[in-house]
Structure 1
Amino acid sequence: MGRAGVPIISVTHGGDQRHNDGGRQAMARGARWAVGTTAVLLVLGAGGYAVADAYDVAPGRLTLASPPPTPAPFPTADVAPAPDVAAVLGELDPQAPLPSGEAVAALAATAVADPRLGSSTTVVVTDVLTGQVIADVGGRQPQEPASTTKILTAAAATEVLGPDATLTTSVVQAAPGTIVLVGGGDMMLAAGAGDPAAVNGRAGLADLAAQVAQALTAAGVTQVTLGLDDTLFTGPSWNPGWAPDHNRYVAPISALAIDIGHTSDHPYSVRQPDPALEAARQLARALGERGVAVVGDPVRMTAPEGATRLGAVESASMREIVRLTVQESENTIAEVLGRLVAIATGEAASFEGATRAVVGTVAGLGLDTTGTVIADCSGLAAGSRIPADLLVDVLVLAGSPAHPELLPVVDDLAVGGWTGTLLDRFGQGPARGLVRAKTGSLPGVTSLAGTVLTQGGRLLAFAVMADATGAVGQDRPRAAIDELVTRLAAVPPAAAG
């Protein structure tokens, strides 16, 4: 059972248990938010927090908009206890009744007409087991997706990179007296020792420095120059669609960084202007503390092929990295994932190459990507367009027993009332613990895509995309979407016969 007795359903394929402590990590982050609300307001001000909320990086509900009207009461349905976290997709009863198509269509139509969602809303609802589309209102119309873009990025990364891959940060000897720090894509390094229980901070620069210092001092070397090879990624590190003040929500994309480029422990601290160079400077300090003096400042250079490796540290697994990205809507790491997909598929490791690679990989799964254009891999930049039915198609495919490799795309989404950006949503009513979804928020844009288990036992994939909500903040549109999804959980079954 979940927090405070809230039931949680997790979808896996027969006998294949794919769970670890990612939920606890996300819950811990949520707890830090709950404790640190006052600090957030003191540092950013109420307006700053509202901006963070609007950009889908804060789980809170602060807004400058007028309070929403009191919603209609939720349907009075008994909340059947959901299976504990060990439930498997194969145990979802194919004989469980499909929800009433008329009822679902009416709910979708009501949502599209809801003034809280503005003038441009699309809704798609599909049964995961059969792929039967139950409701489709404008599902082929490309919409501004905001952070639901990360569903495509997560699917592409899971498909191409696999769940067990890790990212290596190493130091090699380029020449006598010259060593080079080589970035392998890990922007979640710890400045100190690595933490085997963490995702952000699994690999530590202090551990790397200890390895390197041991190798050098054993060879009688106590003084070196330090190079930095961050050539894994190419092109600009800052997307032209990002505003300068977005540096509270995303870092310049680099081949390595400490703590996703944060300049302090505050979750919305500004990011380092050059995260890779800052990591190299930290390594130099750590080497000095271990008896190896670094002469001068680190300088960029390309490590020679075949250079002797002096030390290396490994990131968390790709499964864990993708989970953190979708649960916490981590923009920087989504961009890193896109570039890694680009490298794996032969594209340039740039913004342009990453977006091509992500959409191309999704198309390669046999899905229709017509009309899909993404400006980045996180959804932070304006200008992306994704049809709601593509998001649903990805979720249905990921939940299919024919594609067990994609299961994490569904299984690792934030859980309503429990983790990540859904921490404070769906905490009550028949959908509690039964919604797994990716949020999407930009000014004027609110979206949600994921799965919900009905009270009748059917797993439904859904996407709701509203990209013309106006300057009303996020509370009102989110309330409208949450009402729709809650009612989907309680929708009556289709009439027999």
Structure 2
Amino acid sequence: MRRHPRATLITAGALALVLFGGIAVAAGSAVGAPATASVAVKTPIPTPTPTQTGRPAPAAAPAASIVRMCSVAELAADSRLGSFQAQVRNAATGEVLYDRGGDTASRAASVMKVLTSAAALSVLGPDYRATTTVVAGSEPGSVVLVGGGDITLSRTPSGDESAYAGAAHLDELAAQVQAAWDANPANPPLTKLVLDSSMFGGAEWQPSWDSKELWDGYMPPITALQVDGDRDNPYNNTSSRSEDPIGRAGEAFADELGGVSIERGTAPAGAATLGSVQSQPVSTLIQQSLIVSDNAIAEMLGRLVAVESGSGNSFESIQAGMLTGLADYGIDTTGIVAVDGSGLSDDNAIPPSYLTQLFMKINAREGNLGVIFDGLPVAGQSGSLSYSDRFTGDSAIADGSVFAKTGWIDTGYTLSGVIHAADGTPLTFAIYALDDVDDSAKTAIDALTAGFYSCGNTLSNL
């Protein structure tokens, strides 16, 4: 009872009730009830089982909000950034973490090569190869060298690597032609070489380009027939170019054939093919273009995109071809202006917000876009981000974690790509330092990028 006092009281009460009921029944039997009276027995009505109602499930606890108090305001205020624009996104969620003029389309310098590469992967595909052919000419003893847009075709001996690793070689093409020509006893000796560069049309030099880019060794005239990107030294990435890339290619091929005259023209319709060689696939060309910012390959790809998309074969056709290729990625292309494929022109324009969205897809390796990621320079490790003036000092904290395309023209420096931030967050970013800037802008850009790296998903927009 001491352990269960309430249960003891209930039991005693029940026992008393039973005893009282028994006495009452006995008394009733003794007082006048007939002995033969029957007692009606009622069937008990079952008590309904109460409906079980569970406790309501507790509401899910609200997700902890992210406190974004990591500021890069001091880094972004660096006067070396000139007219500054930037945007940063969380690549996993798409959330914009930082924005300064992100929707304003401006010149992006060589970051334009990323858009050219994306368009080429869409229109041409990663396996497309540009083909240079030789066909029989319309006159006896003549052959026609037909340019297929391969600016990497090399005049170096087979077995040598030019500035473009894996490029096709003219001596290999000449050997095919000579073998095919000699196989027909009816052929007279080879006496004439005709050069056909009609695959590309219009001006060979974009009017907005500074001609010093030719002499400084960064850009050739754009023709469908040329060798080694028209370099004076075919082995060097940076080497002066000529004003007649078609003529240089013709002379190199004539030397391989031996004792032939040279003239310009077009191949006759239906002419028999005597030989052909092909460039590296687009996937390789993109990586060769991005890693050292090669202008010639970018222009080659931009013009081939225009031709294959049906928009035309001149500089004026690049815009339509580019937008056709970019349409497949489902990102609003409003504001994009593409007058060339390399980004050398001040007239190009890309909103930083377009780049941060495109790099989300590149980082996720959507479709064939992983090709672009694999070709990006890496801070402190490869390409144009491994040079001695990039990601030095305090900025070296981001070495190995920034995968981005560099850009430089006289009126601006840019950087755009992917950051694997210190907290594990993947970020996409674009930084433009425009107008009154000099080479020191690169240091300011790298410091700001390192700031984004350190902040990660706690980056403040203040």
State the TM-score, normalized to the length of structure 2.
0.78
- Quote the sequence identity (%): 37
Pair 1:481 & 2:450 matched: no
1:217 to 159, 182, 201: 182
Pair 1:368 & 2:337 matched: no
In 2, distance between residues paired with 1:209 and 1:98?
A: 68
SS in 2 for 1:441: strand
Which residues in structure 2 correspond to 1:41-60 (within 5 Å)? none
Partner residue of 1:277?
Answer: 247
Residues 453-495 of structure 1 show CA distances to partners (whole Å, capped at 9, x for unaligned) of: 1122222110001212x1x5212x1111111111222226549
Partner residue of 1:147?
Answer: 110
Which residues in structure 2 correspond to 1:156-305 (within 5 Å)? 156-175=119-138, 176-195=140-159, 199-200=164-165, 202-220=167-185, 221=187, 222-247=189-214, 248-264=217-233, 265-288=235-258, 293-294=259-260, 296=261, 298-305=262-269
SS in 1 for 2:300: helix
Structure 1: gaps (5+ residues): 1-96
CA contact (8 A) 1:437 1:451 kept: yes
CA contact (8 A) 1:187 1:260 kept: yes
For residue 266 of structure 1, report the CA deviation from its aligned partner. Answer: 5.0
In 1, distance between residues paired with 2:327 and 2:180?
A: 47
CA contact (8 A) 1:342 1:357 kept: yes
CA contact (8 A) 2:131 2:148 kept: yes
CA contact (8 A) 2:309 2:321 kept: yes
Residues 171-190 of structure 1 show CA distances to partners (whole Å, capped at 9, x for unaligned) of: 11133422100111111111
Code of the residue aligned with 1:411 in structure 2: it is D
SS in 1 for 2:191: strand
In 2, distance between residues paired with 1:100 and 1:308?
A: 70
- Structure scoring higher RCO (CA < 8 A, sep ≥ 6) equals 1
CA contact (8 A) 2:201 2:314 kept: yes
In 2, distance between residues paired with 1:473 and 1:128?
A: 31
CA contact (8 A) 2:424 2:456 kept: no
For residue 110 of structure 1, report the CA deviation from its aligned partner. Answer: 3.7
State the TM-score, normalized to the length of structure 1.
0.73
* Aligned pairs, number: 385
For residue 444 of structure 1, report the CA deviation from its aligned partner. Answer: 3.2
For residue 197 of structure 1, report the CA deviation from its aligned partner. Answer: 7.0
Q: Which has the larger radius of gyration?
A: 2
Code of the residue aligned with 1:155 in structure 2: it is A
For residue 268 of structure 1, report the CA deviation from its aligned partner. Answer: 3.6
Code of the residue aligned with 2:228 in structure 1: it is D
Partner residue of 1:451?
Answer: 418
CA contact (8 A) 2:105 2:350 kept: yes
Call closer, same or farther: CA 1:135–1:250 in 2, change over 3 Å: same
CA contact (8 A) 2:346 2:411 kept: no
In 2, distance between residues paired with 1:285 and 1:342?
A: 33
Which residues in structure 2 correspond to 1:289-328 (within 5 Å)? 293-294=259-260, 296=261, 298-328=262-292
For residue 419 of structure 1, report the CA deviation from its aligned partner. Answer: 2.0
CA contact (8 A) 1:373 1:384 kept: yes
Call closer, same or farther: CA 1:100–1:114 in 2, change over 3 Å: farther
Call closer, same or farther: CA 1:155–1:111 in 2, change over 3 Å: farther
In 2, distance between residues paired with 1:341 and 1:450?
A: 23
In 2, distance between residues paired with 1:134 and 1:359?
A: 27
Code of the residue aligned with 1:333 in structure 2: it is I
In 2, distance between residues paired with 1:435 and 1:158?
A: 23
In 2, distance between residues paired with 1:102 and 1:152?
A: 33
In 1, distance between residues paired with 2:300 and 2:65?
A: 39
Residues 286-317 of structure 1 show CA distances to partners (whole Å, capped at 9, x for unaligned) of: 011xxxx42x2x22222123211111111111
SS in 2 for 1:473: coil
Call closer, same or farther: CA 1:128–1:226 in 2, change over 3 Å: same
Residues 388-421 of structure 1 show CA distances to partners (whole Å, capped at 9, x for unaligned) of: 11111111122235x2311222231111122221
Call closer, same or farther: CA 1:101–1:256 in 2, change over 3 Å: farther
Alignment root-mean-square deviation, CA: 2.3
